[in-house]
Each structure stands twice: as C-alpha cells, then as structure tokens.
C-alpha cells in the first residue's frame, strides 16, 4: 500500500507543476504585446494554457491538502508551518477560483483592455505565488530547506488575522463573486 507521505509528494508535485506552467503562461499573456510577432499572435494559446493549467492545479489542490493533513505527524496542524501552509494554499485556491471565474464570465476579451489584462495577469500570478510559497513551506517542514530559503520567510510564525478583518474579507469576497456572477447574465 502507498503511504500518505508518498501520496502527498505526488499530489503536491501535480499542483506545483500545474501552477508553475500556469504562471509562465500568465507572465507571457501579460507581456504578449511586447514579445516578437510569432508569440504575440499566439496569445490565445497562452490564455488556454494559463487557465487550463490553473484549473488542473485548482482541482488537484484539495487532494494535496487532504494528503498533507493525513501525512502530518499526529494527523493535525501541530506546527506554525502547517498553519501557514493551510493559509497560503487556501488563499491561492480562492484567488485561482476568482481568476477562473473571471475568465469564464468574460471570455478571452479580458485580455483586450489594459486594466482587465493587468488584473487577470497579476491575480493569476498571485495565485501561483501563493502555491509556490505553500510548497516552499512544505519543503521547510519536511526537509528543513526550500527553494525560497534565500528570502528568509518567517514560516515558524503563524500569520493570524483578527476575526473582524476575516469577516470583512469574507463579505468582500462574497460581494465580488456575486457581482462576477451577475455581470453578463
């Protein structure tokens, strides 16, 4: 039988690989007007890769979270690093959901206007960043090192928000989602 640790490694590699591919494609989508003509004309393909890879990563993320919780010592969040991993992965999950919802609602035309192009590209790269920081925290937890060690990120300190701020952010998220669902309906 395969251990939960092995399943977690497989799940996280799927998530990290999908988000990394998505991040490169989002970066090229943001810069497509400055790229050579052959790449500039294929931004529809870049858009498809960016969003498809993000969707795959989004689908694989809950599996990575589940296998991570079941492979943690004691099967629970017993460390500030694990709490931060949950915070970062859920933030990336939420941001990626918003990016995919915007693309689904607005279509490829969201790349036509500078403001929506910047918003979509930066939001996509933000979701990718959250997932890569999550993976880095996992490397720190399991191996004591990660690719982002040079940034000296404080994984050992739990990032907490006051309940009132959490409630405000939840209401803003619900309002944005409602507006997104109602537009073009």
pLDDT digits (tens, 9 = 90+) for 6-38: 887 788 889 889 999 999 999 988 887 776 766
What's this model's pTM, rounded to 2 decimal places? 0.76
Number of H helices, E strands in the chain: 6, 0
Please state, in angstroms and rounded to a whole number, the distance separating the CA atoms of residues 119 and 174: 18
pLDDT digits (tens, 9 = 90+) for 58-101: 998 888 878 877 776 665 556 676 777 777 778 888 888 888 88
Q: How far is CA 73 from CA 54, 67, 141, in A?
A: 30, 12, 11
Please state, in angstroms and rounded to a whole number, the distance separating the CA atoms of residues 139 and 134: 9
Residue 32 DSSP code: G
Per-residue pLDDT at 180 = 60
Widest Cα–Cα separation across the chain: 55
Decide if 137 contacts 84 (C-beta within 8 A). Answer: yes
Please state, in angstroms and rounded to a whole number, the distance separating the CA atoms of residues 141 and 88: 14
């Amino acid at each position: 039988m395969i251990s939960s640790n092995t399943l977690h490694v497989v799940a996280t590699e799927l998530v990290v690989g999908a988000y990394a591919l998505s991040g490169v494609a989002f970066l090229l989508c943001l810069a497509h007007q400055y790229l050579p003509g052959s790449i500039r004309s294929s931004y529809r393909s870049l858009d498809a890769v960016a969003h498809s890879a993000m969707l795959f990563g989004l689908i694989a993320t809950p599996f990575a979270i589940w296998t991570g919780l079941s492979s943690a010592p004691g099967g629970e969040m017993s460390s500030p690093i694990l709490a931060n991993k949950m915070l970062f992965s859920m933030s990336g999950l939420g941001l990626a959901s918003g990016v995919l919802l915007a693309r689904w609602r607005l279509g490829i035309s969201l790349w036509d206007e500078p403001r929506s192009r910047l918003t979509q590209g930066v939001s996509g790269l933000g979701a990718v960043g959250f997932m890569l920081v999550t993976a880095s925290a996992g490397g720190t937890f399991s191996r004591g090192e990660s690719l982002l060690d040079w940034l000296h990120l404080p994984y050992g300190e739990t990032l907490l928000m006051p309940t009132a701020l959490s409630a405000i952010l939840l209401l803003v998220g619900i309002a944005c989602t409602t507006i997104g669902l109602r537009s073009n309906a």
